[in-house]
Amino acid sequence: MAIKVIKVGEDILGANEETARTNKQKLDKDRVFTINIMSSPGAGKTSVILSTINKLKDRIKMAVIEGDVASSVDAEKVEALGIPVIQINTAGGCHLDANMVESALNGLPLEETDLLFIENVGNLICPNAFSLGEDRRIMISSMPEGDDKPQKYPAMFADTDVILLNKTDLQPYLDFNFDVFKKTVTNLNSDVTIFLISCKTGEGMEAWFSWLEGEVGKKKDQAA
């Protein structure tokens, strides 16, 4: 039988992009400002979410989607603060995708939510390839990981809107060179906003909170 070549020319992750667009529409309808938080394991995603909830919970209605691989400890910490949270079980998977987020959204009170945190799986290799429907991508990099992380994972750093450089309280014990870090990051991504923070001491967190509050306000003011 003759062999026929069929031209395809389609992105392999095209279906994910489509679902991400549907998620975005849903979130836009209820004007929920949504951030996709990515980092390597232990950089401080949950710590940032918990500190931010504690700071803003009287002023902003928040919800969380937790995508950590193994357990539900992070989700339990969020729940203890009285915030709606859905745990996604990725069954060992290395990233969240738009389908997983789609089903999680069905379990959240979106009309009652102004700010949605999505904690992605701790991994610097692939989560950036999967849009979830977020407004902004936030990367957390922590000083103990070293100032050469952006060189090792350029695509992740090129795709983010904001970088939170966490654990600045540990700077005295490390050789972390901020100028090198900043230069590499700006090279890959000239529009990125960097905040230096410490979840432990609270240093630098105010600037992050006010950026976030500003963005939530902007989305709320958008015409429905």
Partner 1 sequence: MHEYSITESILTLALEKAREADAAKITQINLVVGELSGVVAECVEFYFNFISKDTMAAGADLSFVTKPTSVRCHKCDKIFTPKDGDWSCPECHEIGIDIVTGRECYMESIEVE
Ligand X SMILES: Nc1nc2c(ncn2[C@@H]2O[C@H](COP(=O)(O)OP(=O)(O)O)[C@@H](O)[C@H]2O)c(=O)[nH]1
- Name which position in 199, 205, 212, 216 contacts ligand X (CB under 6 A): 199
Nearer Cβ to Zn ion, position 82 or 92? 92
Q: What element of type H or E holds 186?
A: helix 178-188
By CB under 5 A, tell whether 155 contacts Zn ion: no
Closest CB 74 distance from Mg ion, rounded Å? 4
By CB under 6 A, tell whether 169 contacts ligand X: yes
Of 21, 17, 70, nearest to 41 by C-alpha is: 70
Strand segments (E) across 123-192: 136-142, 162-166
- Name which position in 42, 144, 154, 204 contacts partner 1 (CB under 8 A): 154
DSSP letter assigned to residue 110:
G
By CB under 6 A, tell whether 55 contacts ligand X: no
By CB under 8 A, tell whether 179 contacts partner 1: no
Q: Using the rule CB under 8 A, give the single segment among 32-40, 145-153, 164-172, 201-209 that binds partner 1.
A: 145-153
Nearer Cβ to ligand X, position 19 or 198? 198
* Footprint (CB under 5 A) of Zn ion, residues 78-117: 94-95
| Other CB atoms within 10 Å distance of the CB of residue 182 | 17
Question: Residues, the chain, total?
Answer: 224
Residue carrying structure tokens 């979130």: 27
Nearer Cβ to Mg ion, position 46 or 166? 46
Closest CB 61 distance from ligand X, rounded Å? 22
Of 31, 81, 59, 46, nearest to 213 by C-alpha is: 59
By CB under 8 A, tell whether 207 contacts partner 1: no
Cβ neighbourhood burial of 221 (10 Å; 0-12, 13-18, 19+): exposed
Of 113, 57, 44, 120, nearest to 88 by C-alpha is: 120
- Name which position in 67, 122, 127, 133 contacts ligand X (CB under 6 A): 122
CA distances from 199 to 123, 162, 173, 182 (A): 20, 16, 17, 20
Contact partner, 7, from Zn ion, partner 1, Mg ion, none, Cβ < 5-8 Å per class:
partner 1
Q: Give the integer Cα–Cα distance in Å for 193 and 180.
A: 16
The count of chain residues that interact with partner 1, using the rule CB under 8 A, is 36
Interface positions with ligand X (CB under 6 A): 39, 41-47, 122, 166-167, 169-170, 198-200
